[in-house]
Amino acid sequence: MAAPHAPLRRLAPQIIILAAVLALNLAVFPDFFRIEFQNGRLFGNLIDVLNRGAPTALLAIGMTLVIATRGIDLSVGAVMAIAGAVAAKIVVDGHGWGTALLGALAAGGACGLWNGVLVAWLRIQPIVATLVLMVAGRGVAQLVTEGTILTFLNEGLIHLGAGTILGMPTPVVIWIALGAGVTWAVRRTALGLLIEAIGINESASRLAGINAKVLLTCVYLVSGLCAALAGVIVAADIKGADANNAGLWLELDAILAVVIGGNSLLGGRFSITASLLGALIIQSVNSAILLSGMPPEFNLVIKALIILVILVIQSPRIGHWLYILRASGGDPAPRRKTPVKETAR
């Protein structure tokens, strides 16, 4: 990480995969890269990929941090539903969109805090701790919407999902800004390093003086806030809060984005940019399948096969074999205890 060209090398596999998928898009749909400016808004398939990928990208930001601490947050989909429901409820009750956004963020933050307390203070495994909210969350969301799809016509709130800022769809601006902000916060301070330390060895990090409990709680809090933002965007996009379907299985997409981003599920080194690229890769695959005119049924099978390939490439055993292969080939590979993922490209 010390070398100046290191970030680019870290991101190279993701950029190459993204380029390949985009090229595939271009092959099935020649106009893919055409971007038009109409009615004060950018139009084009590329913009669509950025826009439709917004919820996954937002979730991936929080999920990257959580996974870097060797945790996982299964509840983000349910938190999205809760946040969307709260925002819709506040708007329907006649308050402004700012209040709605704050309310949704507060709900998401509370959910994140709950997860964080379970994981950091009660020391429950992350999968189990977040499973509770994953199961109960949609029930809570339905409690808020009273079982109906709450629709609203508040211009300000709808703008968050369907509007534009300087011609760019608002969700795109939000996720890029948040991604840049969080990356800046963790990389320009020691925060990222501390989070990685927890993921690599929590006891050791605590002995080294890191306040692991507070940091862990904060990480889940951020994940909850990201999920709340994603939930508001999804609700604003359809002008309604659907407690049953908002963010359904999106937690899996977010985890997938993080994994495609080359972040190990076993914690440690992370890159938010790579996760965001992972989210874009997922969305580009979706768009390629749609544009190619293939039945959308194949979407899941193709996605599963892609995960499998990426997993096999990332698996420690394969990485070890490649490492040995390179070492025996006389290539002076850098000496590392554990083979790093990008060597196994």
Partner 1 sequence: MIRSTSLPLYVTLATFVIAYALCASAYPAMLSTRVAANLLTDNAFLGIAAVGMTFVILSGGIDLSVGSVIAFTGVFLAVLLRDTSIHPLAAFAIVLALTTGFGAAMGAIIHHLEMPPFIVTLAGMFLARGAAYVLSVDSVPITHEFYDWLQDIYWKAPSGGRFRLTGALMVLTFLGGILVAHRTRFGQNVYALGGGAQTARLMGVPLGRTTIGIYAISGGLSGLAGIVFSLYTSAGYSLAAVGVELDAIAAVVIGGTLLTGGTGFVAGTFFGILIMGLIQTYIVFDGTLSSWWTKIVIGALLFTFILLQKGLTWATTLRRRPAPGSPMPS
> Does residue 316 interact with partner 1 by CB under 8 A?
yes
Closest separation between CB of residue 196 and partner 1, Å?
17
> Does residue 148 interact with partner 1 by CB under 8 A?
no
Closest separation between CB of residue 39 and partner 1, Å?
36
> Does residue 129 interact with partner 1 by CB under 8 A?
yes
Stretch that binds partner 1, among 33-41, 228-236, 248-256, 284-292 (CB under 8 A): 248-256
Sorted by sequence, the CB contacts under 8 Å of residue 257 that are 6+ apart come out as 56, 57, 59, 60, 63, 275, 276, 278, 279, 281, 282
54 touches 107 (CB < 8 A):
no
Closest CA to 115 of 275, 222, 265, 246: 222
Stretch that binds partner 1, among 95-103, 126-134, 233-241, 333-341 (CB under 8 A): 126-134
Among 4, 155, 209, 317, binds partner 1 (CB under 8 A): 317
Q: Take residue 56 and report the two structure tokens written for it.
A: 């996954």
CA 136-89-130 angle, 5° bins: 20
Among 55, 116, 137, 171, binds partner 1 (CB under 8 A): 137
Q: What are phi and psi of 114, to 5 degrees?
A: -60, -50
Binding residues among 103-122 for partner 1 as defined by CB under 8 A: 122
**Which CB, 238 or 265, lies closer to partner 1?**
265
The whole-angstrom separation of Cα 258 and Cα 272 is: 8
Among 19, 27, 35, 143, binds partner 1 (CB under 8 A): 143
Closest separation between CB of residue 111 and partner 1, Å?
12
**Beta-bridge partners for 43:** 36
Interaction mask 9-48, partner 1, x per CB under 8 A:
----------------------------------------
Q: Take residue 213 and report the two structure tokens written for it.
A: 């409990």
- Beta-strand pair 41-44/240-241: unpaired
Helix, strand, or coil (residue 247): coil
Helix, strand, or coil (residue 29): coil
Q: Rounded to whole angstroms, what are the CA distances from 8 to 273, 314, 329? A: 11, 19, 26
The whole-angstrom separation of Cα 213 and Cα 336 is: 30
Q: At what angle are helices 170-187 and 155-162 packed, to 10 degrees?
A: 70
Among 213, 299, 326, 340, binds partner 1 (CB under 8 A): 299
Binding residues among 70-89 for partner 1 as defined by CB under 8 A: 72
Stretch that binds partner 1, among 41-49, 92-100, 191-199, 315-323 (CB under 8 A): 315-323
> Does residue 133 interact with partner 1 by CB under 8 A?
yes
> Does residue 242 interact with partner 1 by CB under 8 A?
no
**Which CB, 161 or 199, lies closer to partner 1?**
199
**Beta-bridge partners for 52:** none
> Does residue 142 interact with partner 1 by CB under 8 A?
yes
Chain positions contacting partner 1, by CB under 8 A: 72, 122-125, 127-129, 131-140, 142-143, 146-147, 202-203, 243, 252, 255-256, 259, 265-266, 295, 297-305, 307-308, 311-312, 315-318
